[in-house]
Amino acid sequence: MTGRLRSRIPHRMAVYTDITDEELNTLLADFDLGAPLAFKGIAEGVENSNFLLETEAGRFILTVYEKRVREDELPYFLGLTRWLAQHGYPSATPMIDRAGEALKRVRGKPCAIFSFLPGLSVRRPSAAHCRQAGEGLARLHLAAEGFAMTRANDLGQAAWAPMFAKLHGDAEALKPGLAAVIEGDLERLAKAWPQDLPSGVIHADYFPDNVFFNPDGTFAGTIDFYFACNDALAYDIAVALNAWCFEADGSFNITSARAMLAGYETHRPLNRAERDALPVLAHGAAMRFFLTRLHDWGATPPGALVRPKDPLEYERKLAVHRSAPDLVLLGEAS
């Protein structure tokens, strides 16, 4: 674990795979990226192991795929990010080796080397950040047009009821009486879920930690496409409204939400049906993240390397959408 290239990896972080200098050199020998100069684990992230890699050719991110990302889906994710880069969208692009391969293996696990995307994510986004993020999301939807591969949304509306069927006990442990409330939401969502909205490639996890900004506050780019799939484009906006526009006290920031929509519509105006569907889409998007968080919360043993994300945060967002659906009928964007 010690080596010329390695910084000390701090305790409690999402780097599950250790890589020796020799393994790194073997991997890099297939690429034209020069010799490694520095290599260290990155603390953020919960799905994969990420390493900051500096070589004679510049800065890169080595991502080693852990068991949560299905290996047979990696060509879709890698193909999509290459497509986006080729169509002018700022995202991390996988490097290809001399044989034209992006998907490689290290220590028996699949991996890929990505271009380093400059910029920083923000923890407490302002309305101005939301506007920029909205622009970035519409640009993503447009840049992905024409990408030929498809992937169904395996965490879409049809998956929620079967998923929750196994989580009643966890819901009750979180908050007594919650299981019946969630069942009520699921029924309501199943009845009201829109079927014919414009669809295409969606990011499906467009959260503040996956969006980078330049120092002047403008949108810099997007990472982490491992939930990307084909679904209603407006559903992606709904995911983002939930993730970006709630305050720490649980209130919905309508100014930020309108700013996000206005940013989005500078590139891709919504049609009437998409706008009208935003309340139900936002309710459903809150359900999706509540369910995966509830699942992870129940499945994570105490003292695990990665602390699960709080399902109660999304239980509160569900309650907001349940009791005030008109909130997300955002009116005309400012």
Ligand X SMILES: N[C@@H](CCOP(=O)(O)O)C(=O)O
Ligand Y SMILES: Nc1ncnc2c1ncn2[C@@H]1O[C@H](COP(=O)(O)OP(=O)(O)O)[C@@H](O)[C@H]1O
Q: Which of residues 207-266 bind ligand Y (CB under 6 A)?
A: 209-210, 223-224, 226
Residue 309 binding: pick among ligand Y, ligand X, none (C-beta 5-8 Å cut-off by kind) = ligand X
Which is nearer to ligand Y, 81 or 256 (by Cβ)? 81
| 232 residue type, one letter | A
Stretches 38-46, 82-90, 285-293, 319-327: which one binds ligand Y (CB under 6 A)?
38-46
Smallest Cα–Cα separation from 293: which of 170, 206, 209, 183? 170
Rounded alpha-carbon distances, angstroms, from residue 182 to 45, 246, 319 = 28, 20, 10
Task: Please check whether residue 197 is in contact with residue 277, taking contact to mean a CB–CB distance below 8 angstroms.
Answer: yes
- Select the residue interacting with ligand Y from 9, 13, 38, 42 (CB under 6 A): 42
The answer to the question of residue 92 lying near ligand Y (CB under 6 A) is yes
Q: Least CB distance from residue 86 to ligand Y, whole Å?
A: 16
Nearest-angstrom CA–CA distance, 164 and 290:
10
Spacing of C-alpha 306 from chain mean position: 17
Residue 207 binding: pick among ligand X, ligand Y, none (C-beta 5-8 Å cut-off by kind) = ligand X
The answer to the question of residue 19 lying near ligand Y (CB under 6 A) is no
Residue 286 binding: pick among ligand Y, ligand X, none (C-beta 5-8 Å cut-off by kind) = none
295-334: b (≥16 Cβ within 10 Å) or e: bbbbeeeeeeeeebbebbbbbbbbebbeeebebbebeebe
Which is nearer to ligand Y, 64 or 285 (by Cβ)? 64
Which residues bind to ligand X, rule: CB under 6 A? 45-47, 205, 207, 209-210, 224, 289, 292-293, 309
Burial class, 162, CB count within 10 angstroms (exposed 0-12 / middle 13-18 / buried 19+): exposed
Residue 185 binding: pick among ligand Y, ligand X, none (C-beta 5-8 Å cut-off by kind) = none
Nearest-angstrom CA–CA distance, 125 and 257:
11
Q: Least CB distance from residue 13 to ligand X, whole Å?
A: 12
Rounded alpha-carbon distances, angstroms, from residue 323 to 234, 249, 310, 318 = 21, 17, 21, 9
Smallest Cα–Cα separation from 63: which of 119, 11, 77? 77
Give residue number: closest CB to ligand Y. 45
Residue 205 binding: pick among ligand Y, ligand X, none (C-beta 5-8 Å cut-off by kind) = ligand X
Which is nearer to ligand Y, 19 or 92 (by Cβ)? 92
- Select the residue interacting with ligand Y from 38, 46, 163, 181 (CB under 6 A): 46
Q: Which of residues 126-145 bind ligand Y (CB under 6 A)?
A: none
Task: Please check whether residue 62 is in contact with residue 28, taking contact to mean a CB–CB distance below 8 angstroms.
Answer: no
The answer to the question of residue 123 lying near ligand Y (CB under 6 A) is no
Residue 48 binding: pick among ligand Y, ligand X, none (C-beta 5-8 Å cut-off by kind) = ligand Y
Nearest-angstrom CA–CA distance, 277 and 191:
13
Rounded alpha-carbon distances, angstroms, from residue 158 to 130, 151, 190, 241 = 29, 15, 8, 21
- Select the residue interacting with ligand Y from 48, 55, 242, 292 (CB under 6 A): 48
Stretches 113-121, 195-203, 241-249, 290-298: which one binds ligand Y (CB under 6 A)?
113-121
- Count of residues near ligand Y by CB under 6 A: 18
Which is nearer to ligand X, 69 or 254 (by Cβ)? 69
Which is nearer to ligand X, 19 or 211 (by Cβ)? 211
| 113 residue type, one letter | I
Point out which residues bind ligand Y (CB under 6 A): 14, 42, 44-48, 50, 61, 92, 114, 116-117, 209-210, 223-224, 226
